[in-house]
Structure 1
């Protein structure tokens, strides 16, 4: 069981540390809302993973991996990332960004948690990973230890996300005082462009499935 836990933890880290929309959004919101941001974003992410794990285990996973599902999820994901990216650019343009967490703390923790769910569910690569790789890991865990094996796999997997994004959030929020508001705005613009860039990838893949 220890080997299964470590395996799921390492596999989880291999995905969590990769650059993507979740990491980009974590950096942006951590500067604005403090060190707890990464934790709540990853909790939202973990709740969605729990739902997906259950759906895949009962046999719904094969439908999530179809071209139609990838097309729909990719289009929605692209739209969400474009919206988030332009919202960040708008905040910079309208001078609505601040390095004061008290001034920037308009979003409640519940909204950040919901953002974790939305960023995950609209990411086609996330759905595909769970429908293909996740399915094999779930069945391997189940064949080894039954339901307990799946629970161990899930705990190890979500701990990788929670620990990594919490770590990133703490580092970013604790070093924010070292940058000026001008540099901060440049960072926000770069992060926004990254989200828009990721959205282009989502749209491109969706068109590929459509064709």
Structure 2
């Protein structure tokens, strides 16, 4: 029999190791969601073709702005309000209408005599603001983005909150934001780097595919929103 004094002491878990483990799973889960095709990705591709590589970062600014608001919502504890079926349904319907408007706009551009690479710089004036606005609208108009943050995001918010605000900002949110920025910039880079070398008809095809996809997503959001409203 081993006495208490001779028994090996139990080493406490290292907070930094625990934080790293939680962060790794959070980044992987975030990446899996970011890589799924969605309206933000479609806009990054279509606007990358029209305006160049800078479209990716500017769209991400709008996306990030929406997520900053969501982070504030999680911080003040309003998640129960946003989990109500009526709220989620209304967001889905409004988001579907916005995406429908954006999808038709993309298709209209695809049908026009687009001159790739001859338009105004994306970062200048109203053009840059329109990309930021597109990032906001395609984000908040997606009811499943809302549900994802109110379930998966909220769960990880609680986990990271144990390590303080620095971990929440620098690891939880900044890590997720950098993944968004990298992916949207990559999509815009892939199509934007070919501007001037690929015939305009190829860009019309890209825009057309993106427009159809955004319209399909709008129908999906509208149907889902109506279902949430009927579930009250």
Cα distance in 2 for residues equivalent to 1:62 and 1:182: 48
Equivalent in the alignment of 2:51: 33
For the aligned residues, what is the CA RMSD?
1.7
Shift of 1:94: 3.8
Match of 1:103 among 107, 119, 123: 119
Q: By how many angstroms is 1:104 displaced?
A: 5.3
Paired residues, number: 208
Q: CA deviation at 1:48?
A: 1.2
Of 172, 179, 196, the match for 2:198: 179
In 2, Cα distance between equivalents of 1:4 and 1:124: 26
Q: Is the 8 A contact 2:139 2:145 kept in 1?
A: yes
Segment of structure 1 superposing worse, 26-35 or 54-63: 54-63
Residue aligned with 1:199, SS? helix
Instruction: Select 1:73's aligned residue among 91, 96, 111.
Output: 91
Indicate if the aligned counterparts of 1:67 and 1:209 stay in contact, CA closer than 8 A: yes
Equivalence for 1:119: 138
Q: Give the whole-Å Cα distance in 2 for the aligned partners of 1:154 and 1:4.
A: 13
**How far is the alpha carbon of 1:178 from its aligned partner?**
4.4
In structure 2, what is the Cα distance between the partners aligned to 1:15 and 1:177? 32
Mapping 1:74-93, distance limit 5 Å: 74-93=92-111
**How many Å separate the matches in 1 of 2:115 and 2:27?**
36
Of 41-50 and 8-17, deviating more is: 8-17
Measured in 2, the distance between the counterparts of 1:50 and 1:103 equals 31
After superposition, the C-alpha distances for 1:10-44 in whole angstroms (9 at most, x for unaligned) are 22211111101111110000011111111111121
C-alpha displacement at 1:5, in angstroms? Answer: 3.7
Q: Which has the larger radius of gyration?
A: 2
* Structure with greater proportional helix content: 1
Kept after mapping to 1: 8 A contact 2:115/2:200: yes
Deviations 1:111-137 (A, max 9, x none): 211211111111101111111111100
Deviation at 1:105, TM superposition (A): 4.1
Equivalent positions of 1:125-164 (< 5 A) are: 125-143=144-162, 145-151=163-169, 152-164=171-183
SS in 1 for 2:119: helix
